[in-house]
Amino acid sequence: MEQEFIKELKINDILTLLPHRYPFLLVDKVGIIKEGEEGIGFKNITVNEPQFTGHFPENPIMPGVLIMEAMAQTCGLVVKDFVGGGNDKAVLFMGIDEAKFRKPFLPGDVMEMHVVKEKECRGVYRFKCQAKCNGVLHAEAILTALMSR
């Protein structure tokens, strides 16, 4: 099923909203489904990324911590696109709950980070996140972050 986006954030939009740069920028584009509430981030996983020289050369799999970071960056983009603030407002990780890794991501996969805001209170955001490839769930977590003022 094709998801309808009300807005798309391309790489130049992402670079304006997040301070992350290569090799730590882990989102290539984002489709906004509901402003400030829900979106899908996309990351094309390629074998020439630096993490694969050590994780693992003969069997390259995307490290779980980078999957969590990619989902967190997607959450940050959904929020920052809505509230504004560009790079002068930081989104800081506060917690990862209920993390589960079900299937590895491999080079050639397109990681789709589905994020939905569950709660927001005084700049603290809680998102339910799922990382999928071709509709198959690979990882999930509840992520909490703080937007600096």
Tell me whether residue 55 is one of the annotated catalytic residues.
yes
Closest CA to 40 of 50, 30, 52: 30
Q: Are 97 and 144 in contact (CB under 8 A)?
A: yes
CA distance 74 to 125: 13
Q: Are 42 and 110 in contact (CB under 8 A)?
A: yes
Q: Which of 20, 55, 114, 138 is catalytic?
A: 55
- Could you identify the residue written with the tokens 């506060």? 94
Question: Which amino acid, one-letter code, is at 28?
Answer: D
Positions annotated as catalytic residues are 55
